[in-house]
Amino acid sequence: MSALLWAPRAWVDGRWADAVLLRAGADGCWAEVTPGAAAPPQAEVLSAPVLPGLVDAHSHAFQRAMAGLAERREQGEDDFWSWRERMYRVALRITPAQLRAVAAMLYTELLRGGYTQVCEFHYLQHDRDGSAYADPLELSWALADAAADAGIGLTLLPVLYQRAGFNQPELRAEQRRFATDAAAVRALQRGLAASGRPLLNAGVAIHSLRAAEAAAIAALTDGLGEMPIHIHAAEQQAEVDDCVAATGQRPLDWLCMHAAPDARWQLVHATHATAAEIDAVARTGAGIVICPSTEANLGDGFTDVPGWLAAGVPVAIGSDSQVTRAWPEELRWLEYGQRLLRRQRNVCAAPGEGQPSTAARLLQRALVAGGRAAGFARWGLQVGARADLLLVDPADASLLGVPAERLLDALVFASPAPPFARTMVAGRWRPPAAPVAERFAAAMAQLWAED
Ligand SMILES: [Zn+2]
């Protein structure tokens, strides 16, 4: 199987290139990306510009089952922690079959939304009563099967999750499906890596500093080799306060000083970060993953996006709780949060660096950072990277009559729906025709009948 395509424009090396010949090899990776080429007679001539697929660098697939279903306040105050109680109720009752149905729907939507790879921060490991499944990878396979149903690439990150909080020796009863130690996480990772399934790779994750002891973090990461290491960090102010009380340091400070993060590491959210912490993270080579729509939905707060960008820290994006499932919307929220906070416009543009387009700068940073977050040495429209692309829909209302140079600006800031006509992963157009929506609707009906 190989594909030969010719596009009138394509996003190559961080800018638009004209007349681009793209050849996907039998291995599903780009064997040729040549701008300024004539279309050979045997090429499939695409009628519109193409973009690389993005990585959704932070996802909890099961939370798709509660997207839009936690939007009522039934007590004095609603915040992250009361949302979390509702999330646990879903986590406690979802079955492997329901997880597969929910995740397949999500992954199909993510493909439609311009993502071709998803990093699954996977802490749901055990049966509903907390007992181990006969196969410890039971729920991991549900996710892998869902990804295969949809045709999206999957980076599975089994999660170290030991305790309910700083200075708490155990998990709460509601967290019984999450319990792991370092040895278990490494065994899960090895099992996934050895599966040989196409479009599946594996790394590891640490739920958060509050959920894992320093010794267990060291045991998990010592001698781990080249693979992604993800951790939730500094999402909530209460978590920062608890970390200071328990360790004397803020979470990002503690991580930089004690966990020896490097370019494999992804600090998810990194919302509450001081300028000194941003500098400290930048020196390690670690990346951050911002989840703008989820952070807005949960009331997390604002991170210093221009500060992270200026420090050169890789900034990926994630769909996290799945309240939105398209990257143009995440990039729009990433910028809009900063505009609301600072009462300025185009905060994330960098005219001094020749990057006046907010959308172009954010896209390119999220593209490069996302590939790293998923463990790929190469990502995007370049030789050796997986042959993924998005065919822009030129008939989308938001793009009609827009000058070619402004296409990304309109796609991010004027597009109510994902303006992509087709998506390619590993040299194949996706998604296949599977009854994903029917299975999802049935799983949702079962899942919420138990609430
Ligand atoms: Zn998360």
pLDDT confidence of 433, banded at 50, 70, 90? Answer: low
- Looking at residue 383, the DSSP 8-state letter turns out to be T
Q: List the Cα angle 110/114/116 in 5-degree steps.
A: 70
Residue 350: which of 314, 381, 312, 316 has the closest Cα?
312
> DSSP characters for 47-74?
SS-EEPPEEEEEE-GGGGGGTTSS----
Count of alpha carbons within 13 Å of 53, Cβ hemisphere only?
32
Count of residues for the chain? 451
Tokens 């039998």 correspond to: 26
Residue 242 pLDDT more than 70? yes
pLDDT confidence of 435, banded at 50, 70, 90? Answer: confident
Q: Residue 423 corresponds to which amino acid?
A: T
Residue 425 pLDDT more than 90? yes
Pairing of strands 50-51, 389-392: antiparallel
Cα distances (Å, whole numbers) of residue 414 to 168, 199, 259, 361, 418: 47, 32, 42, 17, 11
Residue 432 pLDDT more than 90? no
* Token digits of residue 10: 């394509």
- Residue 361 CA to ligand 1 center (angstroms) comes to 25
- Residue 230 CA to ligand 1 center (angstroms) comes to 10
Tens-place pLDDT, residues 353-382: 999 999 999 999 999 999 999 999 999 999
The gap from C-alpha 149 to its chain's centroid, in whole angstroms, comes to 19
- Residue 238 CA to ligand 1 center (angstroms) comes to 16
Cβ atoms within 10 A of the Cβ of 136, count?
Answer: 16
Sign of the four-CA dihedral 369, 203, 226, 258? positive
Tokens 């992604």 correspond to: 228
Question: Over 368-393, what HEC string results?
Answer: HHHHHHCCCCCCCCCCCCECCEEEEC
- Residue 190 CA to ligand 1 center (angstroms) comes to 22
Residues 6+ apart with CB under 8 A from 301: 236, 237, 271, 272, 295
- Residue 220 CA to ligand 1 center (angstroms) comes to 19
pTM of the predicted structure, to 2 decimals? 0.97
Residue 385 pLDDT more than 90? yes
Burial of 336 per CB tally in 10 Å (0-12, 13-18, 19+): middle
* Token digits of residue 22: 């793209």
Tell me the pLDDT of the chain averaged across its residues.
95
* Token digits of residue 254: 């503690």
Q: List the Cα angle 408/411/414 in 5-degree steps.
A: 125
**Comparison of pLDDT for 433 and 181, the residue scoring more:** 181
Tens-place pLDDT, residues 295-323: 999 999 999 999 999 999 999 999 999 99
Residue 430 pLDDT more than 60? yes
Gap between the Cα atoms of 307 and 347, Å rounded? 11
Gap between the Cα atoms of 381 and 322, Å rounded? 27
Tens-place pLDDT, residues 119-151: 999 999 999 999 999 999 999 999 999 999 999
CB 199 within 8 A of CB 154: yes
Residues 6+ apart with CB under 8 A from 53: 114, 115, 116, 117, 388, 389, 390, 423, 424, 425
Residue 182: which of 202, 200, 201, 207 has the closest Cα?
207
Q: How far apart are the first and last CA of the chain?
A: 47
- Residue 60 CA to ligand 1 center (angstroms) comes to 6
Gap between the Cα atoms of 309 and 349, Å rounded? 10
Tens-place pLDDT, residues 19-72: 999 999 999 999 999 999 999 999 999 999 999 999 999 999 999 999 999 998
- Residues identified as active-site: 269, 320
- Residue 416 CA to ligand 1 center (angstroms) comes to 25
Gap between the Cα atoms of 285 and 313, Å rounded? 7
- Residue 291 CA to ligand 1 center (angstroms) comes to 9
Tens-place pLDDT, residues 280-298: 999 999 999 999 999 999 9
* Token digits of residue 412: 């991010």
- Residue 117 CA to ligand 1 center (angstroms) comes to 16
* Token digits of residue 112: 């439609």
Tokens 């039934």 correspond to: 74
Q: Residue 422 corresponds to which amino acid?
A: R
What pLDDT does 80 receive?
Answer: 87
Residue 1 pLDDT more than 70? no
What pLDDT does 7 receive?
Answer: 98
Tokens 């390619």 correspond to: 424
- Residue 268 CA to ligand 1 center (angstroms) comes to 7
**Comparison of pLDDT for 250 and 433, the residue scoring more:** 250
CB 154 within 8 A of CB 117: yes
Tens-place pLDDT, residues 82-115: 889 889 999 999 999 999 999 999 999 999 999 9
CB 229 within 8 A of CB 266: yes
Gap between the Cα atoms of 391 and 28, Å rounded? 17
